[in-house]
Amino acid sequence: MEAVITQNVDGLHQAAGSENVIELHGNGQRVICPACSATYASKTVRERVKRGDTPPRCELCDEERILEPSVVLFGEQLPEHAFYRAHAIAQNSDVFLVAGSSLTVEPAASLPSLAANRGATLIIVTHDRTPLSDRAEYDFRADVTDVLPGLRRAITEREYWLFTHTIRESRVHGIRSRTHRRRTGNRLIEHR
């Protein structure tokens, strides 16, 4: 998996071990200086406030601006860098997995559509129908905690099978096995 693109601001993806997390709406565990963009841990700033340091100001820049939450508030623009990274990943995805989103909050809701338009396999896992359910090659209407472990297992087992099959074939025939794929309707057909 190349990246996790999230609208959540709780930092739980990183806590779960995800490494390349693009936070479209920021992170509630940080605060930021609007002048110099210095970031601080929210917990540290809360401790400063408890000690009487109010309002909390930036300690690094000359402007001593009041620190702000590092999240996108209603009516604010998404951080450009995060959205551009997410957009680039969507454009270049082979598979785009949507987990637990209603796909109604823009501009993030446009990312799966962008990926599908560029030929990516679109997988949606959520309780309810979404605006992109008809375009998804796989649309699971269930809880992500039930579907994702099984999906991971299926992918891992398939990759292992393909790897061992490729090694075996190349040893037998002295050639490299290659997989060719083409789309037909909603199916992916593999030719060996």
Give residue-wise pLDDT tens across range 82-99.
Answer: 999 999 999 999 999 999
Q: How many CB atoms lie within 10 A of CB 127?
A: 12
Give the CA angle between residues 188, 90, 114 to the nearest 5°: 80
Catalytic residue among 25, 127, 180, 191, which?
25
If pLDDT is split at 50, 70 and 90, which confidence band does 156 have? confident
Q: What is the pLDDT of residue 25?
A: 93
pTM recorded for the entire structure:
0.73
Query: Is residue 61 annotated as involved in ligand binding?
Result: yes
Residue 22 to residues 9, 93, 94, Cα–Cα distance (Å): 11, 15, 18
Query: Among this protein's residues, is 191 annotated catalytic?
Result: no
Do 109 and 60 have their domain in common? no
Q: What is the pLDDT of residue 160?
A: 63
**What's the DSSP call for residue 66?**
B
Do 32 and 122 have their domain in common? no
Do 16 and 81 have their domain in common? yes
Q: Which domain holds residue 128?
A: 1-25+76-140
Residue 44 to residues 26, 28, 49, 113, Cα–Cα distance (Å): 18, 13, 9, 40
Is it the case that residue 131 has pLDDT exceeding 90? yes
